[in-house]
Chains A and B, each alone.
Chain A
C-alpha cells in the first residue's frame, strides 16, 4: 500500500508539473527573467501547491504516525545556517542556468528529452560528489 501511494504521488506530482508548464525550462526561465518578458506563472503554481498542501502538513504536525501507520518524518531543525544558504545559492545558480530543477529533470527524462537526460546524469553526479564531500570534509 505505501509503495502504491508513493507511486501515485509521483504520478500526480509529475502531472502537476506538466500541466503547469513547470516541466518546460523556457517557461521557468521566463519567470526568473524579471527584467525581460516576465511570466509570473510559477508564483501561481507555488501558491496553488502550498494552499493544497498546507492543511496536510498542519495535520502531520500533530501526528506521530501517518494514516498508513508509518512514522511521520518532518525535519527537526529550524536553524538557518551557512550550509542551507550555500546550498540554496549553488542550487539557484544551477537553476538559473538551465531552468531545470530535480522534479522537472525526471519528468524530462521520462519524456525522452535528450537534454533532460544530460542534465539529470550531471545532477546525479553532483549528488554523488556531495556525498563524497560530506564523507571527507563535512560532519555526518
Chain B
C-alpha cells in the first residue's frame, strides 16, 4: 500500500469528519435519532405517523448543503467515471443492501461505531472489505484501471 501524498488531505478529512460527527451528535441529542442516511431515506418509503417530518427536514438539509457550502468556499469537483449502466447497478445494490443490512457508512460506520455497537462493527468491517475487494477486482484484475 503506497500512500498517495498528493491526494491525501488529513486536515480537511479530520475537520470534515468532525462536522459529520457534530451532525450525528445533534441528531441524537436533540431528535433522539440515528444519523444513518439509508435509514432516514428508507423510512420515508412507508412512513408511520410522525416519522416523515424530521426525515424530510434532514434530507432537505443534505440536498441544500452544496448551495450553502458554495457561499463560503468553492464546491469540490465530483469526479465520476462510472458508466450509467454501472451507476444503476451500483445504486440498486446500495439501495437494497443498505436496507437489508440496516445501515451504511453513516449509520453503521459513524453512529454504530461511535456507540460501540458490535453489529455495526461487523457490518462496517464487512462492507469495507467487500468494497476494497470490489475495487481491486475492477481495477487490477479486470483491467479497469484507475482513471
Binding site for B on A (CB under 8 A): 2-27, 29-30, 32-61, 65-68, 70-75, 77-80, 83-103, 105-111, 113, 115-116, 118-131, 133
Contacts and interface: CB of A to CB of B under 8 A. Distances in A.
Contacts of B114: 49-50, 53-54, 56-57
Given A7-B60, A15-B68, A39 B7 contact: yes
A122 to B, nearest CB: 3
Given A12-B26, A48-B13, A91-B97, 11 more contacts: A5-B26, A12-B20, A14-B61, A21-B12, A30-B4, A36-B139, A45-B20, A48-B20, A86-B97, A97-B138, A131-B99
Interface residue SS majority, chain B: helix
Interface of B: 1-4, 7-10, 12-35, 37-38, 41-42, 45-46, 53-55, 57-69, 73, 75-82, 84, 86-102, 104-106, 108-111, 113-119, 122-124, 126-136, 138-140, 146-147
Contact of B2 (A17, A37, A88, A113): A37
Output the residue of A40, A42, A73, A125 with the most chain B CB within 10 A. Answer: A40
Contact of A32 (B30, B96, B131): B131
A18 B67 CA distance: 11
A35 B1 contact: yes
A57 B115 contact: yes
A49 B97 contact: no
B30 A21 contact: no
Given A50-B113, A87-B100, A125 B16 contact: no
Contacts of B19: 12-13, 15-16, 19-20
5 contacts: A58-B115, A75-B119, A85-B122, A87-B102, A126-B97
Nearest to A121: B91
A30 B147 CA distance: 10
A113 B42 CA distance: 22
